Structure 1
């Protein structure tokens, strides 16, 4: 499981941190076979799920993403992953404690921390 720690603007370096509302973090679980995978988890107020594929050189493509339909606060609303039709392609970088998703059409990358 990965908890979204902050968004970072790749042009300016500006960071938009998790507002830290108790028990309302954005948490995603990515499960794959190094070719394709699934996403499950939750935002502040919605349960989410999706699917993705992995490509060469740490590239990915979000095939689908969605969830329950309760209105999101602004910060967690940005955590809805774009899918194929809305620019859901990008690159990722993963270490034992961090996961960074950078979408081709978005200046903000998502920085996750490993969650227990």
Structure 2
């Protein structure tokens, strides 16, 4: 998961429907993950907020978001969905890295987040 990643789209795993980044000029969702292969931190921004958080990594590409938050400006609908659930709100799931893509799939959510490697 290490590195800076730009959210490209949400994908419903049940229907296959894709909700792509609206690519509003100067706006994007970028998260930087940094870890020691056991625990790590998240920093970055959504369209209008700065974010930070923490996570742990488990066996078989599992993860748990232990904390997530940020500034509190109202988000447009698309970037609002990028707020990651934390421990108390179902923040467990699996991740998959393939080339320049990172996929986060949370256990309790049919929508996965698909990121592209940021510059």
Give the secondary-structure state (helix, strand or coil) at the position aligned to 2:108: coil
CA RMSD for the aligned pairs? 0.4
Q: Distance in 2 between matches of 1:65 and 1:95?
A: 25
Q: 5+ residue gaps in structure 1?
A: none
Regions of 4+ moved over 4 Å: none
TM-score, with normalisation over the residues of structure 2?
0.97
Q: Distance in 1 between matches of 2:17 and 2:47?
A: 22
Shift of 1:22: 1.0
Residue 94 of structure 1: aligned partner: 97
Q: Report the count of equivalent residues.
A: 116
Q: Distance in 1 between matches of 2:99 and 2:70?
A: 28
Shift of 1:23: 1.6
Residue 58 of structure 1: aligned partner: 61
Structure 1 segment 1-116 matched on structure 2, within 5 A = 1-116=4-119
For residues 32-79 of structure 1, give each alpha carbon's deviation from its aligned partner in whole angstroms, at most 9, with x where no partner exists.
000000000000000000000000000000000000000000000000
Q: 5+ residue gaps in structure 2?
A: none
TM-score, with normalisation over the residues of structure 1?
0.99
Q: Distance in 2 between matches of 1:78 and 1:5?
A: 12
Q: Distance in 2 between matches of 1:48 and 1:96?
A: 25
Q: Distance in 2 between matches of 1:95 and 1:23?
A: 27
